[in-house]
A and B are shown apart, each in its own frame.
Chain A
Amino acid sequence: MSAISIFFTALFYLSLFVFLIGMARKIYQYWLTPTPLKIPIAPAPLTQTGVAMRIVREVVLFESLFKSNKWTWIFGWLFHVGLLLVLIRHLRYFWPGDLPEIFLLTQPFKYAAFAMVIGLVGLIGRRIFVERIRYISAPSDYLMLILLLVIGVSGVVMTFTNNHTDIIMVKEFASGLLILNWSNLPTEVYFLLHIFLAFILLLIFPISKLLHVPGVFFSPTLNQVDDSRKKRHISPWALKQEQGHAVRLEQALGKD
């Protein structure tokens, strides 16, 4: 194996390790942190089914963002849907051996890359030109978009221009990563740039605002059922605290 292939192979495992451990730790933290009070936000569902529907609408359609700002919504939604389709199409590179026919269906998903790029350009534009959003942006907010844009554009360049890379080699490299059968990777600059940044993205996922991905599922304003009068909701720490109070309450009753 070439030195560069070893480097990228190592980087992949490092990134994957940081991603998995980091995300697991974050999800575990969110899971363990109590919700002492019921704080669902209107329009709040009164049933568990309603909550599930709400989360689905938020995750699939970005419902709240749609209510808020149509431009941010269209760019944000284009980017996320584009990214999702493109990622699904990338599965073929990681599939060891011959592809099942179902993968033919994902062939047109390559055009989703344009949606992704258009979305990202729109989001960067907003960040630069809308004064309010410029005010709230830190350097990392721009860098994150640029990182994704370079990944997207390098992918588009390889797919749609004469800068194709050796797909067979890519597939051997990528699927080899999963089945621990390592091999050399193509060394065209677009490809190296593409996967280098993709691995970096994986690496920084748990320590950046990309935590909005697990966050949306753990957000108490979105995932709580509005049933506080019907069901007593109490956190472990409050219940513990209450046991002390209960005694004092008994003593105090009727003695004022």
Chain B
Amino acid sequence: MVEKFDIPTLPTYIEIPDIEKGAMKGDGPFKSSAEFQNPLGFPGEKVADWQTVAIAKMAELKSKYRSVQVFLDACVKCGACTDKCHYFLGSKDPKNMPVARQDLFRSVYRRHFTFAGKYFPKLVGAKDLDETMLDDWYNYFHQCSQCRRCSVFCPYGIDTAEISMAAREVLDTVGVGQKYCNQILGKATTVGNNLGLPEPALRDTLLDLEEEIEEETGIAIKYPLDVKGAEVLLVTPSADFFAEPHIDGLIGYGKVFHQDGVRWTMSSFASEGANFGMFIGSYDVMRKAALRIRKAALDLEVSRIMVGECGHAWRVAYGFWNTLTGVGAGATDVFGLKLQNQLDPRYSQPQHIIEYTHDLIKRGKLEFDKSVNDHRTVTFHDSCNIARASNMGGIPNGQFILPREVIKAVCNNFVDMARDTIMESTFCCGGGGGLLTDDLMEIRVKGAMPRMQALKAVEGSDNVDTLVAICAICKSQFSKVLPKFDFDPYMIVSVHQLVGEALIMDKPQIEEDLSATEVVG
């Protein structure tokens, strides 16, 4: 059960709180069981010699990841990151300061792997990995959304997300996993999506959606599934199929595809853009999930792979797919070359749906009635994984520029929030990194405070009434937390909802039809 807790009040500007030790102490999120642990290759319960196993895993991780090794050594405790984490600002718990969170891991590293820590533990703050420490790991590494805001401000670029991922992987290895992530990964790697939605159910859902849209607009917009030989494979977070406001974004994608006339499809085998393998820090699980998409692309013989509105999905797709599965370009190895020969080199692979729509707008392929969105004053929430771990359009800062240009193309009233809360300094929604579960509601609400404060400020100054995001987790999280801060829960919408609503659906649709006409004429 979720206990009662105080919802932070929104200050006029963010003040750095005095620390409150143990404010977020607790047992952490629900623990996973054998049912969810074993299929991922993790023990079902805490192993007997867990300390030995954990230390061995730490040794392995620091030898496989330069990030972990360098970040554990390089921190000078300058304190630059201490006031940068939204969870610290919202909860006041000092262990939510990025450096203190890392130190839970670093103190054990020092004790077991460094000269100073072995012989002078007190002097350098080295600590043994005991029950208390393991509990703290489980609790506080599940109060990190791996948003990487701290890394932007660190003079050495130390990225708490890397440490948090490593710690979660150690926890999984000793059998102390998180239920939410591991249960979802089980579904994603067997059924093909996080919801566990099998092919027939997905097909029905899409048919229903087609009917609804046709009833509403009179246009037969299709949501093709498993169409072999389509040009574009769309991989989108499965929340887009069901959740509000996500589904209005999916309607938007469909309208844009329809208007462009491109032949596109989704895959029932790989019907999930999200990849929680990243959250638990497991290269192998993340790769397993990503390989489904590669297989779908090969089987469906598509030449382009496109990703829908999802934050960490885009980080995995943009940053990791080429590494994990060879989706991308510039491979020199057999594995990567196989797929890359099939993909169309004229487009970035994978491509973000925003890049696609943006390109169509630039080329004058889409026309909009911007006045449709005149009842709104819009602001854009940069989702952390997109803002700090990806790019769009191949231009510097494209990941900030392209979504804003798309919004401005379909909407007259756009205002940005304060500069130190957007772009590379954006505040996380509070629900990322595998925290989007009800058993973590307290930290989710508290962590949302800085973003809510920035939103409150533009609501006051510019009457902003619509918050736009391109991330499924952000959208779900905001729907839940907005009302806690006295905002309208329906003010959060997808970029492609705005696009879909303003798009004028009047162009001749299918290129084949055009050529057919010419032949007849």
Residue ranges of A at the interface with B (Cβ–Cβ < 8 Å): 26, 29-30, 33-46, 58, 62, 64-65, 67-69, 72, 76, 126-127, 130-133, 135-141, 143, 204, 207-209, 211-212, 215-216, 218-222, 226, 228-235, 237-239, 241-243, 245-246, 249, 252-254, 256
Closest to A246 in B: B335
Which chain A residues border B326 with CB–CB below 8 Å? 232
- Least Cβ–Cβ distance between A55 and chain B, in angstroms: 10
Which chain A residues border B331 with CB–CB below 8 Å? 232
29 A–B pairs (Cβ distance < 8 Å), ordered by A: A33-B69, A35-B65, A38-B319, A39-B159, A40-B389, A41-B157, A41-B389, A42-B152, A42-B387, A46-B396, A64-B152, A64-B154, A68-B80, A68-B155, A69-B79, A132-B94, A136-B103, A141-B77, A212-B75, A212-B155, A216-B157, A219-B74, A219-B157, A229-B328, A231-B322, A238-B283, A238-B323, A243-B335, A246-B335
**3 A-B pairs with least C-beta separation:** A215-B74, A138-B125, A221-B157
A42 touches B124 (CB 8 A): no
Complex alpha-carbon distance, A137 and B77, angstroms: 7
Out of A39, A138, A216, A253, name the residue touching B155 (CB < 8 Å). Answer: A216
Which chain A residues border B394 with CB–CB below 8 Å? 46
B323 touches A207 (CB 8 A): no
Complex alpha-carbon distance, A249 and B335, angstroms: 10
Complex alpha-carbon distance, A26 and B291, angstroms: 36
- Least Cβ–Cβ distance between B388 and chain A, in angstroms: 4
From 268 to 302 in chain B, residues with beta carbon under 8 angstroms from any chain A beta carbon are 269, 283-284, 287, 291, 294-295, 298-299
- Least Cβ–Cβ distance between A246 and chain B, in angstroms: 5
Which chain B residues border A34 with CB–CB below 8 Å? 64-66
Out of B66, B76, B148, B152, name the residue touching A212 (CB < 8 Å). Answer: B76
B348 CB–A CB distance under 8 Å: yes
B43 CB–A CB distance under 8 Å: no
Complex alpha-carbon distance, A42 and B152, angstroms: 7
Additional 4 contacts, C-beta under 8 A, given A68-B84, A69-B80: A29-B69, A42-B423, A137-B77, A209-B74
Complex alpha-carbon distance, A84 and B211, angstroms: 71
Which chain B residues border A67 with CB–CB below 8 Å? 152-153
Complex alpha-carbon distance, A252 and B292, angstroms: 11
A42 touches B389 (CB 8 A): yes
Which chain B residues border A230 with CB–CB below 8 Å? 328-330
Closest to B335 in A: A246
Which chain A residues border B97 with CB–CB below 8 Å? 132, 135-136
Out of B73, B299, B391, B395, name the residue touching A44 (CB < 8 Å). Answer: B391
A242 touches B335 (CB 8 A): yes
B207 CB–A CB distance under 8 Å: no
B16 CB–A CB distance under 8 Å: yes
Complex alpha-carbon distance, A143 and B123, angstroms: 9
Which chain A residues border B19 with CB–CB below 8 Å? 131-132, 135
Complex alpha-carbon distance, A207 and B148, angstroms: 27
- From known contacts A136-B82, A139-B123, infer whether A33 and B65 are also in contact, taking CB-CB under 8 Å: yes
A41 touches B388 (CB 8 A): yes
B77 touches A136 (CB 8 A): yes
A33 touches B155 (CB 8 A): no
Which chain B residues border A131 with CB–CB below 8 Å? 18-19
Which chain A residues border B123 with CB–CB below 8 Å? 138-140, 143
A208 touches B116 (CB 8 A): yes
- From known contacts A34-B64, A68-B81, A234-B323, infer whether A229 and B348 are also in contact, taking CB-CB under 8 Å: yes
Most buried by A among B80, B153, B332, B388: B80
Complex alpha-carbon distance, A63 and B198, angstroms: 50
Which chain A residues border B350 with CB–CB below 8 Å? 229
B79 touches A136 (CB 8 A): yes
Closest to B122 in A: A139
Which chain B residues border A246 with CB–CB below 8 Å? 334-335
B100 CB–A CB distance under 8 Å: yes
Complex alpha-carbon distance, A36 and B68, angstroms: 11
Complex alpha-carbon distance, A85 and B159, angstroms: 31
B67 CB–A CB distance under 8 Å: yes
- Least Cβ–Cβ distance between A8 and chain B, in angstroms: 24
A228 touches B318 (CB 8 A): yes
Complex alpha-carbon distance, A226 and B125, angstroms: 35
B66 touches A218 (CB 8 A): yes
Out of B100, B124, B320, name the residue touching A38 (CB < 8 Å). Answer: B320
A136 touches B100 (CB 8 A): yes
- Least Cβ–Cβ distance between A108 and chain B, in angstroms: 28
- From known contacts A140-B125, A207-B116, infer whether A46 and B330 are also in contact, taking CB-CB under 8 Å: no
- Least Cβ–Cβ distance between A94 and chain B, in angstroms: 27
- Least Cβ–Cβ distance between A227 and chain B, in angstroms: 8
- Least Cβ–Cβ distance between B203 and chain A, in angstroms: 16
B157 touches A222 (CB 8 A): yes
B13 CB–A CB distance under 8 Å: no
Complex alpha-carbon distance, A125 and B495, angstroms: 48
A65 touches B80 (CB 8 A): yes
Which chain B residues border A62 with CB–CB below 8 Å? 155
Out of A30, A46, A72, A256, name the residue touching B66 (CB < 8 Å). Answer: A30
B388 touches A72 (CB 8 A): no
- From known contacts A38-B320, A212-B76, A229-B329, infer whether A254 and B299 are also in contact, taking CB-CB under 8 Å: yes
- From known contacts A37-B319, A68-B153, A229-B328, infer whether A207 and B115 are also in contact, taking CB-CB under 8 Å: yes
B336 CB–A CB distance under 8 Å: yes
Closest to A253 in B: B298
B156 touches A215 (CB 8 A): yes
- Least Cβ–Cβ distance between B322 and chain A, in angstroms: 5
Closest to B151 in A: A41
Which chain B residues border A208 with CB–CB below 8 Å? 116, 124
Closest to A35 in B: B66
B70 CB–A CB distance under 8 Å: yes
Complex alpha-carbon distance, A48 and B34, angstroms: 46
